[in-house]
Amino acid sequence: MQFDVDQLSVQETYLRMVQVISPRPIAWVSTRSGDGVPNLAPFSFFTGIGANPPTLCFAPANNPDGSAKDTLENIRQTGQFAVNIVTESTAQAMHQSADPVAPEVNEFELVGVSQLPCVKIDVPRVEQAVATMECTLHSVVGLGTGPGGANLVIGNVVHFHIDDALVDEKVLSTIGRVGRRHYCKVDETFEL
């Protein structure tokens, strides 16, 4: 089949993209609002950009009413965020943290994960995560407006937290998103 993007709704376009861009790593992004409220939300349009300087990006879409998500608003207010890496043991909490809640709700408490302080930024990180990257904001690029409008957040990685037992591992057993509500485990790899 062929699909003309001009003939698709935003939802239909999203469904085609998550179907074919697969698997997608998950940025479980923690932030803190200007008022000090911790926030935690997953984003599967996420990747590393380069190592010199160490840079990554993720893309939070606007809410159904066209407003920016709390994560994006918090990053704009503070210029800081942390990307927590998701494994099977944290998958359920990560998935639950995608549920829309009011900005004053602490998603760490809501989904039952513990907070640890970061070293170089004033944002909490997920204690149960096998790795976390502390980031400062490089830039936000607004790519679309209204409901589902895309925003590209580019961050500079300023500090890594990696579980001691995993530092020498070549591949972490992370999970990825392979559809709308489907995930996969990176538990089998091959070398070329």
Question: Has residue 120 been placed in a domain?
Answer: yes
pLDDT at 75: 98
CATH number at residue 85: 2.30.110.10
- Is residue 190 included in any domain, yes or no? no
Given a cut of 90, whether residue 47 has pLDDT beyond it is: yes
Predicted model pTM: 0.91
Nearest to 39 by CA among 137, 87, 109, 119: 109
- 192 falls within a domain: no
In a domain, 191, yes or no: no
Count of domains forming the chain: 1
Give the model's pLDDT for residue 37.
96
The pLDDT score that the predictor gives to residue 78 is 97
Q: What is the pLDDT of residues 57-80, one digit of tens each?
A: 999 999 999 999 999 999 999 999
Any domain includes 103: yes
pLDDT at 4 > cutoff 80: yes
> Could you give the angle at the alpha carbon of 168 between the alpha carbons of 53 and 115, nearest 5°?
70
Q: What percent of the chain has pLDDT over 90?
A: 72
Q: Which residues of 89-99 are buried (b: 16+ CB within 10 A; e: fewer)?
A: ebbebbbebbe
Residues, the chain, total?
A: 192
Structural domain includes residue 63: yes
| pLDDT (0 to 100) of residue 159 | 97
User: What is the rounded distance in angstroms from the CA atom of residue 41 to the CA atom of residue 82?
Assistant: 11
Q: What is the secondary structure of 62-87 as a DSSP string?
A: PPTTSPPPHHHHHHHHHSEEEEEEPB
Q: How far is CA 3 from CA 45, 61, 180, in A?
A: 21, 22, 19
Between the alpha carbon of residue 57 and those of residues 47, 156, 188, 192, the distances in Å are 6, 9, 26, 27
Instruction: Identify whether 30 is part of a domain.
Output: yes
- What domain range includes position 77? 5-185
The pLDDT-based confidence of 166 (bands split at 50, 70, 90) is confident
